[in-house]
Amino acid sequence: MTFPVRFNSCLKWVTAAVLCLSFLAGQAAALDVGGKAYFLMDPYSGRVFLADDAEEALPVASISKVMTLVLILEAADRGEVSLDDLVAASPFAASKRGSRIWLEAGEQLPLGELIYAIAVGSANDAAVAAAEFLAGSEDSFVELMNVRARELGLEQTVFRNCTGLPEETGSNQMSAKDVAALVRHALTVPGLMDFVSTYEHTMRADTTGIPVLWNGNKLLRRYYGVDGMKTGFTTEAGYCIAATAERDNLRLIAVTLGHKSEEERESAARALLDYGFRKYQSLELYGPQEAVGSLECPTGNPQVVDVVLPDKFLVTVERGKELDLTTVIQLEANLAPPVQAGQIVGSICAYYGEEVVGMSPLTVRQTVEKLSLPALIVRLAQALAKAVF
């Protein structure tokens, strides 16, 4: 049994029932910010604002650790590990150089502390210790990293280790576009932003208090709205950064790779974020649980149920062009009761011309139960009586 669709007369702008197939990326002229590649996007809608050489695979150094953090915290969210679990450092993990927290072989630290070491201090020894704890060996963990990359559609990504350090077999490679897509996913991983937004953290706080870590992402203190994500540097990769910032409900992801100095890297990230915040704005079209239509079910109880937004519906538009928006609703066909409250029954898209600038699932406000046969007979009889009289 299908649900006939009723659209509220108070829908904002224009509403129609069509299928939203994909996001269309809008791209502006390139900026001259130096480096080898950059990418600027809105993670909520998927809109691309700026891109330059963004699909070229490049070494990304410690930006690789975003995937390391994703895998650890996804495992924690599934209950496979706990942040309180004690992790013993192997001799191999303790041997890692570069950024580190000077783990000693056999030393035990809680997994949560190692995550801080990775996110804040970019510690290579902590990354390997955590990887070995989760997967048994760094090589096995790297296999998981590459599998997750394929699942997330990162087409130009190859991981060779969990740290981003160069190896004889080569370095971890990602495109700027892939980095942005990974950061976009990382924003949804429970707990991850708590770690990458931390600017200072003291390791071994109950004993030596050594070392005190400061985040390599200086924009956390220097740029209003920045709350993550990760920097990286090797001689081969140059200075790289993936930064995310939010102002007035507008979130941006800026990725820039292959710079000659920390100053140039920061200047490039600033220029990308400045461009996005200056030119675009986020608008709230609907609030949480606001009805945008209704579903009618002849065999359900209730017979009509509101179709609502589970969360506020934000769209990103160029400043001054908000009046040119249209909204489009697609509801599932052949949806039969019972339907649970909160169940996704369709989607709403906001368009600027042909470009999708926002998208959200639609749910039902209350549960629709299936009518018993006697109740259905009564309903049909009442409907027939109304039609006759």
Active-site annotation holder among 90, 122, 282, 294: 122
Q: Letter for the amino acid at 233?
A: F
| DSSP per-residue string spanning 17-86 | B-----PPPP--PPP---SSEEEEE-TTT--EEEEESTTS-EE-GGGGHHHHHHHHHHHHHTTSS-TT-E
Contact between residue 312 and residue 288 where contact means Cβ atoms under 8 Å apart: yes
Active-site residue, 65 included: yes
Asked if 256 and 35 count as a contact pair (C-beta separation under 8 A), the reply is yes
| Catalytic residue selected from 62, 99, 282, 360 | 62
**What distances in angstroms separate CA 373 from CA 339, 377, 382, one per listed residue?**
18, 6, 14
In the annotation, is 45 catalytic? no
User: What angle is formed at CA 280 by the lines to CA 65 and CA 243, rounded to 5 degrees?
Assistant: 15
Q: How many CB atoms lie within 10 A of CB 30?
A: 11
Q: What is the DSSP string of 170-181?
A: B--EE-HHHHHH
Q: Report the C-alpha gap between 351 and 357 in whole angstroms.
A: 6
User: Is the Cβ–Cβ distance between 327 and 12 less than 8 Å?
Assistant: yes
**Annotated catalytic residue: which of 64, 65, 175, 177?**
65
122 classed as catalytic? yes
Active-site positions?
62, 65, 122
